[in-house]
Structure 1
Amino acid sequence: MIDPRLRGRVAVITGADSPLGIGAATARALARQGCKVVLVSRPRTPPEPTDHVCDALRADGVEADSVAVDLADPSAAGVVFEHAEGCFGPVEILVNNAAHHVPDTFRADPVRGLVAVEAAGLDAHHAVNTRAPALLIAEFHRRHLRRRASWGRIISISTDAVPGTAGEVSHLASKHALESLSRSAAAELGSAGTTVNIIACGPVQTGWLSEHATARAAELSPLGRVGRPDDIADLVVFLASHQARWLTGQTLYAGGGKRML
């Protein structure tokens, strides 16, 4: 039996709002390995009295907690880490999964479902998808050094479409930037014992893919199906594990072989 040596580790996972999402699947997968998990979700208006993903984990006996913060707020990183440390102790695993996503275009006459590229939209994408992960990584590293730790894992969730495509201008630009800052972090944080890696996802059914899009994605994959949240969550566990100790600054393309074709 392979032991990933994650029991007792504290993990923070952003973008953990939906029970059908990658964040929730990642929390469940890490919890199965004995991790204590802190889920970061968006504030709701009006505020919700409970976090359903966190409640479900606790019902299964997982040491879990949640914090609702606006990651576009520059102070959010400190709030997240203070909350996590107050619940379970120092954070050793950070999963940058949260994403702002509004399809947009350079075209002057956007078709239905798209908006025109504008400053506010660009800023909203970069605030959550680029700046927030950068500030979370910086906060992770400051606290890591302060306690003289020697083990850390950071995993950033991106997309295999970052080279660019129509109708996803701001989202893909911000994810491309996320990959760049993650590689920079890998170069700078390695000497402190922290690895930083990227998972570039192909289409994953988290509730947003239409029946047509699901069928098309399955056609493009040599494995003949669309991705599932657990497919990505299991890769997060691997990159966090002892077995991935010699991997850093790498991008794993997780799309069932779609990128190969």
Structure 2
Amino acid sequence: MGTLAGKTALVTGGSRGIGRGIAERLGRDGALVAVHYGSNAAAAAEVVTTIERAGGRAFAIGAELGAPGDAAALWAAFDAGLAAAGGGTGLDILVNNAGIGAPGRIHEVAEADWDKVFAVNAKAPFFVVQQGLGRLRDGGRIVNVSSGVTRVAFPSAVSYAMTKGALNTLTLTLAEELGPRGITVNAVLPGVVATDINPWLDDPAARARVAGYAALGRVGEASDVADAVAFLASDDARWITGQNLDASGGSNLGV
């Protein structure tokens, strides 16, 4: 029996990268995992298969975040998928992981690009939580995947950094709002992580440079972040809420 046996979890953006690592870890811990994807159904199906082969339970749900009606579409897909999986109703763990990047200094950012990154990274989690509160059980967990760029100046991706700052504020506010229900709300702040969305890390020089940012001297892996999320989702973190947990290997501590 895993530490999350009997729990149901939803991981947005769970079909790849950090989200995949989180979904697989929660599955190993015994949760029934809803693996959300935006457009790549095959990738989500692969994650479901991986979880099932390890003895876990999972199902995939699709909904494009950042589009009108995205939260309602996500929850409709979740309800249908959960019923088909025989998981009953309700949710114990919500991981808001889905997000997109947005490079550019302030003079380089187009208004449409600013709107898009805020729609996916800040607006979508807000309304996913809002519309999911009736499903989230008392004593549940919300974990928001933010970023280490919120604790340092990061001019080269200013709009992206702003969205993650908004997510941190949402984390703090929801922790106060949902505390009476025993629901904890925390954020995890990764640094640079070696996933398929960072192919430039295949260059040894780039990888060495990024490793030098971290006090622990290496590039982060998806499992590093997934393990931190799993801790916050577990009963071991029952007395922790409203916190930003840095999971960057101590990146830029000397800056």
1:186 and 2:169 aligned: no
1:8 and 2:9 aligned: no
- Contact 1:74 1:135 survives alignment (8 Å): no
Letter in 2 for 1:69: A
Q: Which runs of 4+ in 1 moved over 4 A?
A: 47-50
Report how far residue 136 of structure 1 moved. 1.2
Report how far residue 129 of structure 1 moved. 0.2
Aligned length: 243
How far does the alpha carbon of each residue in 1:1-28 deviate from its partner, in whole angstroms, 9 at most, with x for none?
xx9741121110011232xx11111111
1:152 aligned to 140, 150, 165, which one? 140
Letter in 1 for 2:129: I
Letter in 2 for 1:84: F
- Contact 2:24 2:47 survives alignment (8 Å): no
Structure 1 unaligned blocks of 5 or more: 108-115
Letter in 2 for 1:54: V
TM-score by length of 2: 0.88
Structure 2 unaligned blocks of 5 or more: none
The aligned residue for residue 138 of structure 1 is 130
Distance 2:239 2:252 in 1: 24
Report how far residue 35 of structure 1 moved. 0.3
Letter in 1 for 2:181: A
1:237 and 2:230 aligned: yes
1:260 and 2:253 aligned: yes
Tell me which protein shows more helix as a share of its residues: 2
Letter in 2 for 1:193: G
What RMSD in Å do the two structures reach over aligned CA positions? 2.0
Distance 1:4 1:181 in 2: 30
Distance 2:171 2:139 in 1: 17
2:39 aligned to 18, 43, 52, which one? 43
Percentage of pairs with the same residue: 34
SS in 1 for 2:164: helix
Distance 2:213 2:127 in 1: 36
The aligned residue for residue 105 of structure 1 is 105
1:75 and 2:69 aligned: yes
How far does the alpha carbon of each residue in 1:128-186 deviate from its partner, in whole angstroms, 9 at most, with x for none?
00000001111222333xxxx42110001111112431220211111111111111111
How far does the alpha carbon of each residue in 1:200-250 deviate from its partner, in whole angstroms, 9 at most, with x for none?
111111131422332112122221111000000000110011110000000
The aligned residue for residue 32 of structure 1 is 28
Distance 1:227 1:179 in 2: 21
